[in-house]
A and B are shown apart, each in its own frame.
Chain A
Amino acid sequence: GNSVTQMEGPVTLSEEAFLTINCTYTATGYPSLFWYVQYPGEGLQLLLKATKADDKGSNKGFEATYRKETTSFHLEKGSVQVSDSAVYFCALSDRGTGGFKTIFGAGTRLFVKA
């Protein structure tokens, strides 16, 4: 079946450091890929998405490229801020019989120190 694997956290960085959170997936079809973020005290919200191979999703300085050859969708940011401290979830959505199923990774907690 489909699955998503994320690097384990927590990840602790200093402000302005470079961030990479690894995400790999297995899927039988051609899924859409997403990164969702959960800030402290808030609900899950979409950060970025990519719907086909080689697409790059971007938002708030974060980027991720849909790599079909390596089945990866790594999240990157060039310079993190304290306000980026949150839990990040990689997810895929794939078509099944009659509808779509979304599979989430376990999440990666990011702490950014001032």
Chain B
Amino acid sequence: DAGVTQSPTHLIKTRGQQVTLRCSPKSGHDTVSWYQQALGQGPQFIFQYYEEEERQRGNFPDRFSGHQFPNYSSELNVNALLLGDSALYLCASSLKGGNQPQHFGDGTRLSIL
């Protein structure tokens, strides 16, 4: 049973560029959340997708956008990259509901030069 898979593993971009990160949820899960984790910090909630719609959003600018597809997979897009966007981006999947545990992928390490 495959868990949460993310691609790519690592990515290097320059300021001003755009990036797309991808996530396939654990089999049977219908809800996907995205997080940004800076070194030595806890994950910061970006947004959550369910039924192909953004359901909740954290304190991130509109440069961060996402999408969920009918097969529940998801993308995170970041436009106009800034140096401060360098971080580990984590995808987590779950069943719908606040008391459901989340299963995390290994993340995409994004470096901005």
What is the interface of chain A, defined by CB distance below 8 A to chain B? 4, 31-32, 34, 36, 43-46, 49, 51, 89, 91, 93-107
Contacts and interface: CB of A to CB of B under 8 A. Distances in A.
B56 A99 contact: yes
Contacts of A105: 42
Given A46-B102, A98-B55, 14 more contacts: A44-B43, A44-B92, A44-B104, A49-B99, A89-B43, A93-B98, A98-B53, A99-B48, A103-B45, A104-B35, A104-B42, A104-B43, A105-B42, A107-B40
B42 A106 contact: yes
Range, interface on chain B: 20 to 34
With a 10 A CB-CB cut-off, give which of A49, A100, A102, A104 has the most chain B CB atoms: A100
Contacts of A36: 104
Contact of A102 (B33, B103, B105): B33
Contact of B101 (A34, A94, A95): A34
Interface of B: 31, 33, 35, 40-45, 48, 50, 53, 55-56, 58, 90, 92, 97-99, 101-107
A113 to B, nearest CB: 22
Contact of A96 (B56, B99, B101): B56
B102 A102 contact: yes
Question: A-side binding surface: helix, strand, loop or mixed?
Answer: strand
A107 B105 contact: no
B99 A43 contact: no
10 contacts: A4-B42, A31-B98, A43-B104, A43-B107, A44-B43, A89-B42, A93-B98, A99-B50, A100-B55, A107-B40
